Structure 1
Amino acid sequence: MGTIHRSGVHRKTNDSARLIVVTIFGVAFGFFVGISFPAATFTKTEFKRSKSLETLGSGSNVTNIYVPTNPRGAELLPPGIVVAESDFNLRRLWGEPSEDIKKKPKRNNINTAVKKFSDDFQILLFHYDGRTSEWDQFEWSKSAIHVSVMRQTKWWYAKRFLHPDIVGAYEYIFIWDEDLGVEHFNGEKYIELVKKHGLEISQPGLEPDNGLTWQMTKRRGDREVHKDTEEKPGWCSNPHLPPCAAFVEIMAPVFSREAWRCVWHMIQNDLVHGWGLDFALRRCVEPAHEKIGVVDSQWIIHQVIPSLGSQL
């Protein structure tokens, strides 16, 4: 199974900690800011899916859901979707079992991204090609946390290694893919805007000409943040519901500590690629159309570089 390494680096002992997790080809990596991890225990359990993410993400009214018997932080979720424990069962990727991952990790791309965050951020790398030592060429890697499990994706890692109690010291959690251009992004300025506009779940705006799927995540050049959009006719039954509002994509989401506690409980143990999760995130904040948004003035480019090749 995976191993985790912690380096004894100085961290601020205040309540402004942030965690950024980024998934890259061969490696998933993230940034944490703050104090040391509290203890947590993971328990192996058998799990049967009782409610799909597609159903959870549908247009039903979320305001009527409040279950005080759910785990803390997951009161807004229907009981059937809550997965309060994580197993360590490996999840096979789609496609033939091939030669693992063919392309080399985009190390320079990740190195550039790391430098967009201040020294207050702790870095976490998830290695799913087993090549942990190859990152030693970067000085920041020596004080990073490294976790290695072969051929698993970022949501598999998130369920097993980012339990809300473990990351409870961190104010914000970034869970990002590897193929993001960050020339126009600054981590500290991003946090300032998220706080200013009261966003519990967010993402940077996407450059319109690169890898854009939804109008909601398209960068707007005339504002700091937007929380809604117009889509193709018939796509939005309600202007306050996805994909016209209360919606970000799974390539570069940012969660507050409170929102992540809920989202973690919604992630199924057998979730691999995370498709459908983006439509269901709104279940974890209320009112979602006001607390989920896109930060336009700190924007990124989705480079659309496949990490797992034919296995996707």
Structure 2
Amino acid sequence: MHQEWKKPLKHKNFDLCLSYYGDDKGCFKEQCDFYFESKGTKWPVIKEIIQSLGSEIFHYDAIWFPDDDLRTDATNINRMFEIFMEQGFDLAQPALTKDSFFSHSVTLENENFRWRYTAFVEIMAPVFSRSALKKCWHSFNGNKSGWGLDLLWPKLLGDPEKRIAMIDETPVTHTRAVGGGTLYQYITGSPFDEMAKIEKKYGVDRSTYDLPHYNGVLKDKKLYIMILAHQNEDVLKAQVENIRHFNPNAGIILYNGGSNKNFPENLELAVCPYSRPIKWIYQARVLLDVMRWLEETNVNYEYLVSFDHDMLFIKQGFEEFLDTSMGNVDCMGWQMLMGSERDKYPDPNVPDSLWREWKKWKGIFRTDNFVRYFNPGQVYRRGIIQRMLAYLNHTIKQETLDNLLDNTTVYGFEEMFSVTLAMASGGKCREYPDGNEYNFAVRWGDDLTQEEVSQAINRPAYYWIHPVKGNNLIKTSQWLLGDVPDTKEDIPTNGHADIKSDLQTDVHVEPPKDAHTELQTDVHVVPPDEVHTAPKTNFHVKPDDDIRIDSHKDSHADPHVTQPVNNESKRRGSKERKEIKERKKCERRERREKVKWEGIKRREEKRRERKERKEREKREKRERRV
């Protein structure tokens, strides 16, 4: 197949050396730059050729040793060498296309990556740098089959980190079954026995072949969606299919928040290498870890979106929606609140828990207040992410920050950490259109019903929903993708519909409540045309009047979405009764919640009073002693 390697000839930017082991003398001599004829197996013969060429072979920056049954072309080979040299690899190989014959799954192309860092490359097609070849070529005649040599080479190179790679951007096709080549006729013993001798002599282990890649560089995408999950691969699969259906050009990153490092076992996803077990209410570091990984590997993207395990997309066009909605702002989220707006929080424990630790975090954020987004669907531009990471690098040591994040008890810190850091870094932030409160499409608590999902589809500013959990997520995704009939049994119909027909999107900032009179709020509104700088303590809140959604005037469905079955005319009366019933149920629930939070508030006030009384008594005791 070497004839294909040179096509198109004008793109050939390498020298080709052929070692012919057939019986037709001079068969391919005119088709290459160097020509040798030798019977025998691949690697002992290659060592003989290197000895024949002498120092001439070390004039090359990189040398590739492919098997003769690989299908590729000159353009692909050139690009492989370019990547190899640009990244300074010691040892690499092109990944194998999905239709290739293969021995080790890690060698198969992963379409999420440009290249992946691995513990070895296979003897089928390794690329050596000049320095790596000098260290390894003496081992090429270690046995006849070559089996086990690919375990030895990384050890001879010192197992360098991020210098051994599988290049996914330039895959080749292995066209012949493994072990089916004619060269195996020259092997008298067992290749497995030969590999065992390599293992024993050099202290290497064939279990290395089973290791997955440990890091890599993702392909450039305009939109990356980060999913946090750690169990239930069927649900994750449904989410991934949903994302890929409605956002076919987006990249997906999984943050594995559990202890099972092999999760998921049957999905090809890019897993953040900084993943670690995460407690449900302490997820602040998740988005930060993904941001760091993307920047360390210099991936080009525009938007990073956090996607909870109980979210689904409901229509296409999300990228275009972000372009329009975000304008010149840096981040966007649902229900933006200041820390001082305690009474507006669905759960006052969230701000209260951060105020209790505020002394630890105030020095990092360098402000007297903080900001909060509902966690699902937070969006950050790459530009503000770069500024956030630079801000942290100049503000706190990585080890100190990691220790703070690992030991914080701030409840729901993921809702406050990233957006407050964005604003501390000089970012402009806004809410989603219609995103100033929980409603029928985005809320905490009960799963959305099919009716609510249908309503969200018909609202032009809604592209995703939350929450839909477990099996309900699977069924809802199937319904959205048209895989199941439109029946009441598929998606739950009992829930709470809290539909607001005249939602506002402006952010209203109040001064701190009496409970926090010592804290100051420094917030002002930045007009769209104002030149923005990045002060240390001021918050810049971008108004969203320019992206107003009037739900009364615009009742048309999104043009990209198939309309759900409309049977309102047949069941108008029963639906109105149902809505009244649901509204009353919602009102009762709100009253219960109000009573609950008032009780929490009273207990918190009593706790503060006890604390103040104890401090006052201590003060009085000290004064009496004096």
TM-score by length of 1: 0.53
Give runs of aligned pairs for residues 138-153 of structure 1, distance below 5 A: 141=31, 144-149=33-38, 151-153=39-41
Q: Conserved in 2, the CA contact under 8 Å of 1:172 and 1:255?
A: yes
Whether 2:48 is the aligned partner of 1:155: answer no
The aligned counterpart of 1:179 is 69
Give the distance between the partners of 1:294 and 1:252, measured in 2 at CA. Answer: 11
Give runs of aligned pairs for residues 139-288 of structure 1, distance below 5 A: 141=31, 144-149=33-38, 151-163=39-51, 165-182=55-72, 186-227=76-117, 245-268=118-141, 271-288=143-160
SS of the counterpart of 2:95? Answer: strand
Q: Kindly provide the amino acid, as one letter, of the partner of residue 127 in structure 1.
A: Y
How large is the RMSD of aligned CA atoms in angstroms? 2.4
Q: Kindly provide the amino acid, as one letter, of the partner of residue 144 in structure 1.
A: D
The aligned counterpart of 1:9 is none
Q: Conserved in 1, the CA contact under 8 Å of 2:12 and 2:74?
A: no
Give the distance between the partners of 1:124 and 1:310, measured in 2 at CA. Answer: 22
The aligned counterpart of 1:292 is 164
Give the distance between the partners of 2:184 and 2:94, measured in 1 at CA. Answer: 28
Q: Conserved in 2, the CA contact under 8 Å of 1:175 and 1:253?
A: yes
The aligned counterpart of 2:25 is 132
Deviations 1:253-293 (A, max 9, x none): 1000000011112233x622200101111023244341101
Q: Conserved in 1, the CA contact under 8 Å of 2:41 and 2:144?
A: yes
Give the distance between the partners of 1:144 and 1:290, measured in 2 at CA. Answer: 32
Give the distance between the partners of 1:224 and 1:272, measured in 2 at CA. Answer: 33
Q: Conserved in 2, the CA contact under 8 Å of 1:248 and 1:293?
A: yes
Give runs of aligned pairs for residues 53-68 of structure 1, distance below 5 A: none
Structure of higher RCO (CA pairs closer than 8 Å, 6+ residues apart): 1
The aligned counterpart of 1:110 is 2
Give runs of aligned pairs for residues 28-47 of structure 1, distance below 5 A: none
Q: Kindly provide the amino acid, as one letter, of the partner of residue 173 in structure 1.
A: I
Q: Conserved in 1, the CA contact under 8 Å of 2:12 and 2:78?
A: no
Give the distance between the partners of 2:93 and 2:149, measured in 1 at CA. Answer: 14
Deviations 1:186-216 (A, max 9, x none): 1221122112333110000111332122122
The aligned counterpart of 2:182 is 308
What is the CA-CA distance between 1:120 and the residue it aligns to? Answer: 3.5
User: Are residues 310 and 166 of structure 1, via their aligned partners in 2, closer, same or farther at CA, if it must alter by over 3 Å?
Assistant: closer
Moved over 6 A (4+): none
Q: Kindly provide the amino acid, as one letter, of the partner of residue 62 in structure 2.
A: Y
Give the distance between the partners of 1:309 and 1:246, measured in 2 at CA. Answer: 27
Unaligned runs of 5+ in 2: 188-626
SS of the counterpart of 2:145? Answer: coil
The aligned counterpart of 1:123 is 16
Give the distance between the partners of 2:99 and 2:3, measured in 1 at CA. Answer: 24
Q: Conserved in 1, the CA contact under 8 Å of 2:93 and 2:126?
A: yes
Give the distance between the partners of 1:310 and 1:145, measured in 2 at CA. Answer: 24
What is the CA-CA distance between 1:304 and the residue it aligns to? Answer: 1.6
Unaligned runs of 5+ in 1: 1-108, 228-244
SS of the counterpart of 1:192? Answer: helix
Give the distance between the partners of 2:99 and 2:40, measured in 1 at CA. Answer: 30
Q: Kindly provide the amino acid, as one letter, of the partner of residue 64 in structure 2.
A: F
Q: Which of 1 and 2 has greater Rg?
A: 2
Q: Conserved in 1, the CA contact under 8 Å of 2:47 and 2:140?
A: yes
SS of the counterpart of 2:59? Answer: coil
User: Are residues 277 and 310 of structure 1, via their aligned partners in 2, closer, same or farther at CA, if it must alter by over 3 Å?
Assistant: closer
Give the distance between the partners of 2:8 and 2:124, measured in 1 at CA. Answer: 17
Q: Conserved in 2, the CA contact under 8 Å of 1:204 and 1:298?
A: yes
TM-score by length of 2: 0.27
SS of the counterpart of 1:126? Answer: strand
Q: Kindly provide the amino acid, as one letter, of the partner of residue 250 in structure 1.
A: I
What is the CA-CA distance between 1:119 and the residue it aligns to? Answer: 4.1
Give the distance between the partners of 1:184 and 1:223, measured in 2 at CA. Answer: 22
What is the CA-CA distance between 1:184 and the residue it aligns to? Answer: 9.6
Q: Kindly provide the amino acid, as one letter, of the partner of residue 290 in structure 1.
A: K
Deviations 1:115-165 (A, max 9, x none): 2674442221111124233336xxx52x6322112x212212211111463
SS of the counterpart of 1:168? Answer: helix
